[in-house]
Chain A
Amino acid sequence: MADAVIVVTLLLTAACATAAVTQRDPARQALVLSVLGVVLAALFTVLQAPDVGLSQLAVGSALTPLLIMLSVRKTRRRGRSKEDRE
């Protein structure tokens, strides 16, 4: 039973990670990354490392995607204002 849960979470992690790589739009990538963070946190918890799971949940699924989204917003805004001038 425990092995089955490990296999399922491992497969989910692989699927999410592949989705994050194949997605080309950085804003969407951030969202997929957030889902990947949750799945990875589940995997760590299943592997009996709840401390690492909590770190992964806080950093990987909240902080990192937020920072990426903010950076994307900044660069898009700059790009838009340059287009306006030309």
Chain B
Amino acid sequence: MNRLRLWLLAVGGTGLAALLVAACLDLPRFGGRSHPYGDRAVHASLRRHIANTIASVNFDQRAYDTLGEMSILFAAVLGCVVLLRQTRDEHRAPPEPAEVARPVRRYALLVLPVALVTGLYVIAHGQLSPGGGFQGGVVAATALHLLYLGADYGALERVRPLGVYETTDALAVSSYVVLGLAGLLAGTAFLANTLLPYGTFNTLSSGGTVPLLNAAVGMEVAGAATVLLAHFLDQAVEIEDATEEEPGK
């Protein structure tokens, strides 16, 4: 029986390897000059006055895919929140205020505002320069957690009302869907970028609905990452089993 299984695995593995090698041999050469998809994407992006073609692909040409990715992130964070909730046999012990070395504290408090502004900048300039809602959202959310490094968990909890972030997360996902439905009501198609004027190329307000969808994703990702980290931090720092003796060590 075991032998049969190994044989089956070997045959399947060899077949897969052969197919992969055959596919790789047929790929276009590394660094080639012909990019049929790229040319078409750039053309479509320029027609709608979007400077960053990636943003055009994400929020205009393939906005529907981004809705899927957004829902996956939302569902994943929801699952984590349910899994990491405080159960009946666990209790919360507020951690002791922690001693932080002075250089660490100074560095964290110095970098925090810079990182936060960088994150917001990356979100706001999604349709102009590399980056966008997802990247900026993660940067902004992790920037907030420098407060945990620079001060302690109590300080972070005071500037991070979790309910607000959970609501933001849900509202952002709904606003993306609402923006999509607005296209439908305007008589075109779901998530079609025909609702707003395309504006002047390479300015903050260019690209029709792209900056709005980008901002919705930025809010969603920032909220989701903060909620996710909050529940992990709660489990690591505050929540204890009934059997645990030492608080917050």
Binding site for B on A (CB under 8 A): 50-51, 53-55, 57-59, 62-63, 66-67, 70-71, 73-74, 77-78, 81-82, 84-85
Q: Name B186-218 residues within 8 Å CB distance of A.
A: none
* Candidates A54, A62, A74, A81; contact of B235 at CB < 8 Å: A74
Per DSSP, are chain B's interface residues mostly helix, strand or loop, or mixed?
helix
10 A-B pairs in the complex with CB atoms less than 8 angstroms apart: A51-B130, A54-B131, A57-B135, A58-B142, A66-B229, A66-B232, A70-B229, A70-B233, A70-B236, A71-B236
Q: How far is the CA of A58 from the CA of B225 in the complex (A)?
A: 11
Central interface residue in A51, A57, A67, A85, by most chain B CB within 10 Å: A51
The answer to whether B135 and A58 touch across the interface, beta carbons within 8 angstroms, is yes
Cβ of B241 under 8 Å from chain A? yes
The answer to whether B134 and A81 touch across the interface, beta carbons within 8 angstroms, is no
* Candidates A59, A62, A70, A77; contact of B244 at CB < 8 Å: A77
Cβ of B26 under 8 Å from chain A? no
The answer to whether A67 and B232 touch across the interface, beta carbons within 8 angstroms, is yes
Question: Which residues of B are found within 8 Å of A50, using beta-carbon distances?
Answer: 130-131
The answer to whether B122 and A51 touch across the interface, beta carbons within 8 angstroms, is no
The answer to whether A63 and B241 touch across the interface, beta carbons within 8 angstroms, is no
Question: Which residues of A are found within 8 Å of B249, using beta-carbon distances?
Answer: 77
Cβ of B48 under 8 Å from chain A? no
Bits for B212-249, please: 1 = Cβ < 8 Å to A, else 0. Answer: 00000000000001001100110111001101111001
The answer to whether B132 and A51 touch across the interface, beta carbons within 8 angstroms, is yes
The answer to whether B135 and A51 touch across the interface, beta carbons within 8 angstroms, is yes
Question: Which residues of B are found within 8 Å of A53, using beta-carbon distances?
Answer: 130
Per DSSP, are chain A's interface residues mostly helix, strand or loop, or mixed?
helix
Cβ of B49 under 8 Å from chain A? no
* Candidates B135, B229, B233, B240; contact of A54 at CB < 8 Å: B135
Q: Name B125-139 residues within 8 Å CB distance of A.
A: 130-132, 134-135, 138-139
Q: How far is the CA of A78 from the CA of B145 in the complex (A)?
A: 24
- Closest chain-A Cβ to B58's Cβ sits at a distance in Å of 9
Bits for B133-176, please: 1 = Cβ < 8 Å to A, else 0. Answer: 01100110010010000000000000000000000000000000
For residue B130, which residue of chain A has the nearest CB? A50
- Closest chain-A Cβ to B73's Cβ sits at a distance in Å of 11
The answer to whether A70 and B232 touch across the interface, beta carbons within 8 angstroms, is yes
Cβ of B63 under 8 Å from chain A? no
The answer to whether B139 and A85 touch across the interface, beta carbons within 8 angstroms, is no
Cβ of B124 under 8 Å from chain A? no
Question: Which residues of A are found within 8 Å of B237, using beta-carbon distances?
Answer: 73
The answer to whether B246 and A81 touch across the interface, beta carbons within 8 angstroms, is yes
